[in-house]
Chains A and B, each alone.
Chain A
Amino acid sequence: MAMTKTQRRRLSSTVRYVILTGWALMAAFPIYWMVATSFKPDTQWFSWPPVYFPHPPTLANYMNVWFGAEQYAQTQYAISSQKPFVSLWNSTVIASTSTFLSVLFGSILAYGVSRYRILSEARMFQLLMLRMIPPIVVVAPLSLYYSALGLLDTRIGLIMVYFLTTLPYAVWMTKSFIDEVPLEVEQAAEILGASRWRTIFEVVLPLIRSGLVATFLFILILTWSEYLLALILTKTQVSTLPIELSKYQGSTEGRVYGRQAALAVGITIPLMIVGLIIRKHLARGFSFGMVRR
C-alpha cells in the first residue's frame, strides 16, 4: 500500500465529505418533506409512488389553515381553521413573557452567584435538578393546584411554569457570561457612587448584552416548543401552536398531511430563524460551564 501523504490526505478529505453530506441529507430530508408537503394538492399527500416535488405547487394548504379560505362545509377539520393566529398570538405572548422573566431573574441570580456566591456550587447543581426531573411527574397535582387558584387555562399559569422550568438554564447560561466581566468595571462603578442595583442594571447587564440575547433566544426555543405542560394546563381558552397542531390529528381520522404541514411550517420557521441567529452560542446554553473557551 504505497500512498503518498497527499493522496492519503485527499482520501480522508473525500471520506469526510461523503459522511458529512450523507448526514446532511438525512437531517434535511424530513424538513424538506414537511415543506414540500405543505405545498402539495391533496391527491399527493399520501400517494404511491410518493411525490417528491409538488406539481403544481399550491398555496391552498396555507390559505386553508391560516386564513380559513376554503369551503367550510366540506371538511370537518375546518372547525379549527380560524384558530392558528390566536394560537400564534398565545404562543408568542407566553413564550416571550416567560422567557423574558426567566432571563431577567436568571441573570440577577447569576450575578449573585458569580459575585456574592449566594448559591454554593452544590446548590447550583441542585437547581439543575429542577430541569432534569420529568415534568410529567408533577403535572397532575399542578393542574389541581392551578384550578384551585383559577390559573388553569390562563396565560399567566403557563408563563409561571415555564419561568420555573427554564430558570436553571437562564442562571447557568448568563453566569457563564457574567463570569467573564472583569471585576474592575464594577469597582469603578462603585467608586463613582453607583448603588448595587444600578451597577447590575447599568453596568454589568449592558456589558453582556449579546449574551443576554443569546440566552433569551435559547430559552425561547424551549418554551416555544413545549408540549406536555401546555397540553394539560390549557383547555379551550388558551392554546399554543404545538397543541393546535396536535388537535388537527385528534379531530379527524383522515390524513390531512398538507394542512398539518402548512401549520407545522408556520410553527417551525420562527424557531429556526431564532436558532440560526444564536447558533454560535448554543453550546454555551447546554454545556453548564463544562466547556472552556
Chain B
Amino acid sequence: MAVSALPARDAPLATSTRTVSRRRAVRRFKLTLLLPLIGLFLFLLTPVLLLQLYFSVHQWTVYLSSWWDADYVGLDLFRDVLTDPRFGWAVVRSLAFATGSTIGCFVFGFLLAYLMYKPFHGQAIYYVIFILPMLTVPVVVAYTAEMLLYQNGPINDVISILLGVDFKPSWLTNPHIALFTVACLEVWNWTPFSFIIMLAGLSAIPKEPIEAAEILGASKWRIFWEVQVPLLRPVILLALVLRFLEAMAEFPKTWALFQGGPGSATETLPVYIFMTTWQYFEISKGAAMSYIVMLLMIVIVLVAIQLLRREKRSLDAMYEQGAKETEA
C-alpha cells in the first residue's frame, strides 16, 4: 500500500537546523491543507449548532418579536417533546420505514448483483437500466409516482392484467398503506445503490478461495454461505448502514407526495420536524426535537462507524497479508 507519509514517519531526531526548519515547513503545510475544513466548521457548523442549542432551551416562535429576548425555559421543551405521542409515533414510523426499505433495497440489490457479477450476454445493458432509478431526482420520483399510482392508474392496471384479478389498492389515499407506498418508492429509488456496492464487492472477491472450494466439491450453496458471504461482510455492512441512515433522513419523496398525510400516516421524523418548524412555527420545539433526533442519530452513527472501522481494518490487514504473501 502506497499510503506511507511522504516525509518518513520515523524520521531521525532533528539535529541540524535544516531538518528543524523542514519539519516546521511540513507542519505549516499540513495546517494550510486543513484550513478550509477548520474554516467551514468555525464559520458554518459551530454557529448553527450553538443557535440550535439556544433555541432548544428558550421558548420562541416567529410571532414573538426578536429571538434574542426569548424566555429561558430550561429543559421544558425536551420534556414536551419526549411526552408528545406524535413524536413517539414519528420515531416508530421512521424506524419502521428505514428498516423496511433498507432490507428491501438490500435483498433486491444483492439478488441482482449476485446474478450479474459474472460476465454474460447483455450485462452492460442490464447494468445501465438498473442504475437509472438512482439517477432520478427524488422529487421527480414522487410526482411520477403520483402519475402512476392513482387508483385507476397504470400500475394497478398492469398488475390487474398480469394477475387477471381486479387489483385496486389506493396507494395514495389509504392511511394503512401510505407509508408502505413511500417505502416501495424508496426501494425502487435506491436499490441501484445497494446493487452497485454489492456488485463491486462480489467482483472484488479473489477467485482462489472459490476455485479451491469448487475443487473440493463444495456446492454453490455452501460456497455462497461459507466463502462469499464472510468475505463480503464489510460491504454488506456498508450497504446496510448507509441505506439505513439515508432512509432515516428521507424527506423529499415523503413530503412531495404526502405532506405527512393521509391523516398522519407518513409523518416520519423529518416530516414532523419540518411541520413543527415551518408550518406551526414552533421553532423552539422543533429545535428540541432536532437535538433529540441528532443525539439518536449520533448514537446510531457512532455504533455504525465503530463496526465499519473494525471491518475496514480487518479487510486492510487481510489484503496487506495477501500482498506480502505474493511478494514472498
Please report A residues at the B interface, Cβ cutoff 8 Å: 13, 16, 19-20, 23-24, 26-31, 33-34, 37, 45-46, 48-50, 52, 105, 108-109, 111-112, 114-119, 121-122, 125-126, 128-130, 132-138, 140-142, 144-145, 160-161, 163-164, 167, 179-183, 186-187, 196, 221, 224-225, 227-228, 232, 241-242, 245-246, 249, 257, 260-261, 264, 267-268, 271-272, 274-276, 279, 282-284, 286-293
Q: Which of B12-20, B31-39, B209-217, B222-230 is found at the contact surface with chain A? A: B31-39
Known contacts being A144-B67, A164-B45, is A290 close to B2, with CB within 8 Å? no
Closest 10 CB pairs of A and B: A134-B249, A283-B200, A141-B51, A112-B33, A275-B135, A137-B290, A227-B252, A225-B137, A50-B154, A136-B270
B203 to chain A, nearest CB (A): 9
- How far is A275 from B270 in the complex, measured between Cα atoms in Å? 28
Interchain CB contact under 8 A, A133 and B301:
yes
- How far is A115 from B26 in the complex, measured between Cα atoms in Å? 11
Any A CB within 8 A of the CB of B274: yes
For residue A23, which residues in chain B have a CB less than 8 angstroms away from its CB? 108, 112, 130
For residue A249, which residues in chain B have a CB less than 8 angstroms away from its CB? 143, 256
Interchain CB contact under 8 A, B115 and A118:
no
Known contacts being A16-B120, A290-B238, is A50 close to B132, with CB within 8 Å? no
Interchain CB contact under 8 A, B136 and A271:
yes
Interchain CB contact under 8 A, B145 and A30:
yes
- How far is A29 from B251 in the complex, measured between Cα atoms in Å? 23
Please report B residues at the A interface, Cβ cutoff 8 Å: 1-7, 26, 29-30, 33-34, 36-37, 40, 44-45, 47-49, 51-52, 55, 67, 108, 111-112, 115-116, 120, 126-141, 143-148, 150, 152-154, 157-158, 188, 192-193, 196-197, 199-201, 204, 234-235, 238, 242, 245, 248-249, 251-252, 256, 269-270, 273-274, 277-278, 283, 286-287, 290-291, 293-294, 297-298, 301, 304-305, 308-309, 311-312, 315, 319
Known contacts being A121-B309, A136-B273, is A116 close to B5, with CB within 8 Å? yes
Give the interface SS of chain A, mostly helix, strand, loop or mixed.
helix
- How far is A224 from B6 in the complex, measured between Cα atoms in Å? 37
Interchain CB contact under 8 A, A145 and B51:
yes
For residue A112, which residues in chain B have a CB less than 8 angstroms away from its CB? 30, 33-34
- How far is A242 from B181 in the complex, measured between Cα atoms in Å? 21
For residue B249, which residues in chain A have a CB less than 8 angstroms away from its CB? 133-136
Interchain CB contact under 8 A, A228 and B301:
no
21 contacts across the A-B interface (CB closer than 8 A): A27-B188, A105-B36, A114-B3, A115-B3, A126-B305, A134-B297, A136-B270, A136-B273, A137-B290, A140-B287, A163-B40, A183-B6, A196-B29, A221-B135, A268-B135, A268-B140, A282-B196, A283-B197, A288-B312, A290-B234, A290-B312
For residue A225, which residues in chain B have a CB less than 8 angstroms away from its CB? 137-139
For residue B200, which residues in chain A have a CB less than 8 angstroms away from its CB? 283-284, 287, 291
- How far is A115 from B2 in the complex, measured between Cα atoms in Å? 9
Interchain CB contact under 8 A, A50 and B5:
no
Interchain CB contact under 8 A, B277 and A140:
yes
Interchain CB contact under 8 A, A257 and B147:
yes
Interchain CB contact under 8 A, A286 and B242:
yes
Interchain CB contact under 8 A, A30 and B144:
yes
A66 to chain B, nearest CB (A): 16
A240 to chain B, nearest CB (A): 10
Interchain CB contact under 8 A, B311 and A290:
yes
Q: Which of A33, A129, A228, A279 contacts B131 (CB 8 A)?
A: A279
Known contacts being A167-B40, A268-B135, is A136 close to B154, with CB within 8 Å? no
For residue A13, which residues in chain B have a CB less than 8 angstroms away from its CB? 120
- How far is A268 from B134 in the complex, measured between Cα atoms in Å? 11
For residue B2, which residues in chain A have a CB less than 8 angstroms away from its CB? 179-183
For residue A137, which residues in chain B have a CB less than 8 angstroms away from its CB? 52, 273, 290-291, 293-294, 297
A167 to chain B, nearest CB (A): 7
For residue A181, which residues in chain B have a CB less than 8 angstroms away from its CB? 2
Interchain CB contact under 8 A, A116 and B294:
no
Interchain CB contact under 8 A, B199 and A283:
yes
- How far is A115 from B137 in the complex, measured between Cα atoms in Å? 36
Q: Which of A108, A272, A282 contacts B132 (CB 8 A)?
A: A272
- How far is A133 from B299 in the complex, measured between Cα atoms in Å? 11
Interchain CB contact under 8 A, A227 and B115:
no
- How far is A31 from B137 in the complex, measured between Cα atoms in Å? 11
Q: Which of B128, B252, B311 contacts A228 (CB 8 A)?
A: B252
For B7, B145, B290, the residue with the greatest tally of chain A CB atoms inside 10 Å of its CB is B290
Residue in chain B with minimal CB distance to A182: B2
- How far is A23 from B36 in the complex, measured between Cα atoms in Å? 44
For residue A246, which residues in chain B have a CB less than 8 angstroms away from its CB? 139, 256
- How far is A210 from B107 in the complex, measured between Cα atoms in Å? 32
Interchain CB contact under 8 A, B144 and A290:
no
